[in-house]
Amino acid sequence: MHLADLCIALSLSAPAENPDILAVTHNAAWVTPGAAFVAIRGARVDGHSFAAQAAQQGAAAIFGEGWPLPDPCPLPYVTVPDARAALADLAAELEGHPSRALKVVGVTGTDGKTTTSWLTVHLLRSAGLSTGLLSTVGYQLSDGETRHFPAHFTTPEAPQVQATLRELAATGVQAAVLEASSHALALERVRAVAWDVAVWTHLSREHLDFHGDMESYFVEKRKLIERAPFAVLNADDPWTARLKLGPHVTYSEGGHPADWQAHQIEEQSGGLAFEVRSPAGTFAAFLPMIGRFNVGNALAAMAAAHQLGATAEQLVLGLAKFGGVPGRMELVASPVGPSPALGPRVIVDFAHTPPSLEKALGTLRTTTRGQLIVVIGAAGGPRDPGKRGPLGEVATRLADEAIFTEEDCRDTPLAEILTAMALGAKGAGRANYCIIPDRQHAIRHAVRLAGPGDTVLLAGKGPEETLEREGETIPWNEVEEARTALGRLE
């Protein structure tokens, strides 16, 4: 597409030069011949300083919020009001706006995004709709196989989002479910997605290092609800009352008035049985997952799938066959045992915020005959340090024994993180914890400590494939670490 055509599509003033634009990126190192380079002014670095590098690598034009340097721009320059918005709009235009050819569900919230997204994909597929998934760690086509973005894409930026949606549409996918994180919304990574349904799960303290405060966090999250023509909202979340509402339905597993309500919830050994009262009718449902809070995730997914045409019968049959989500309340078995009579139950879960850890431990407490042991860490680097103490408090209040260990300390001294977690426990008058900095050692200690009838929760890492330490990043598989620890008992 020629530069002038792009400028017309985006209502921008075009320069005299009119090169052909083949791609777009905001990272000069990713520039390919014929690409447009979007110069974004960050908190520490101005992308305009990489204009020369972009030109050397074959960029055809530069977009930015005004050329700030004394030297002339080496390429045709287009001034835009918002560089990040321009990156998203350019990517969508170059890819042919693929989301317009799909039914798109966006899921946002602090906790529950991933489980709700996977459930929604599964229910839509069960209803006969070829459905893909796009998350922060990878994507799925209709075959269900998770593919990962190239290593240099730590999170999918707008061009990767649009390219993935184009791939989904090109392979015959009819619908797509996207996890819409607060970062993706704030940084306009999903700005140019044409949503059909938005799902709001829950809002609690997270990412305040980036957003500053809860109000700013909420403002970014609610963008998804404002941009979608239809919303599925959690009536149990107090922030829902502040959302600007258009056409919508609500859901509740906590007894609040809602369009989709769960009644007679029974936590069984093999899953959750409950009655659903909804616009689709009243019916019995069974979800093969543990954790009462997953009833809410199931209601949200059913409401979204129903909005796209799934019937009550399809929802019931699909829900009963759900295979679970890697790293979300995932029950671990060792290669050859041990049997429940001989060893502990080990669960891997992604819970890494105080509310999500409280939910996970509260759920496991009701189904544990013996001791409940938790292994938990807290992220370092620029991540919100305010949750470290509360994590320590929740862990020691709800578990019989807590083991504080590493999660992803990055450039923060691990001792600083662990001390903050310990202070949270001590501040609540609790001493039922120990500190084992090495996560592998912590997991093995927890499994050795546990006996028959006990439960060990490995919290915080879930399905993540790396562990970030001070100065290094190592491959990591929490489930395999747990299996190894269990195998050592035999």
- For 333, half-sphere exposure in the C-beta direction (CA atoms, 13 angstrom radius) is 6
Distances (CA, A) of 49 to 40, 102, 265, 461: 10, 38, 58, 37
181 annotated binding-site participant? yes
The DSSP output letter for 72 is P
Largest CA distance in the chain: 77
CA distance 421 to 23: 46
154 annotated binding-site participant? yes
Phi and psi of 42, rounded to 5°?
A: -90, 180
115 annotated binding-site participant? yes
240 annotated binding-site participant? no
CA distance 5 to 352: 46
282 annotated binding-site participant? no
Residue where the block lists tokens 């923060």:
412
- Identify the three-state secondary structure at position 328: strand
Exposure b/e, 394-412, CB count within 10 A at least 16 = b: bbbbbbbbbbbbbbbbbeb
155 annotated binding-site participant? yes
First to last CA, the chain: 64
CA distance 139 to 154: 13
Nearest to 409 by CA among 439, 434, 432, 440: 439
Nearest to 432 by CA among 458, 395, 460: 395
405 annotated binding-site participant? no
113 annotated binding-site participant? yes
Q: What is the DSSP string of 188-211?
A: TTTTT---SEEEE----S--HHHH
Counting runs of H as helices and runs of E as strands, what totals does the chain give? 15, 23
Distances (CA, A) of 145 to 33, 141, 148, 178, 288: 32, 7, 10, 16, 21
Distances (CA, A) of 185 to 97, 116, 216, 272: 18, 18, 12, 33
132 annotated binding-site participant? no
Taking the C-alpha atoms of 222, 226, 229 and 234 in order, what is their torsion angle to the nearest 10 degrees?
30
- Opening angle at CA 338, ends 461 and 115, nearest 5: 35
203 Cβ partners below 8 Å, 6+ apart? 109, 110, 214, 217, 218, 221, 237, 239
Q: What is the DSSP string of 239-304?
A: GGGGS--SSEEEEESSS---SEEEEEEEEETTEEEEEEEETTEEEEEEES---THHHHHHHHHHHH
CA distance 309 to 352: 34
Binding residues: 109-115, 154-155, 181, 189
Binding residues for ATP: 109-115
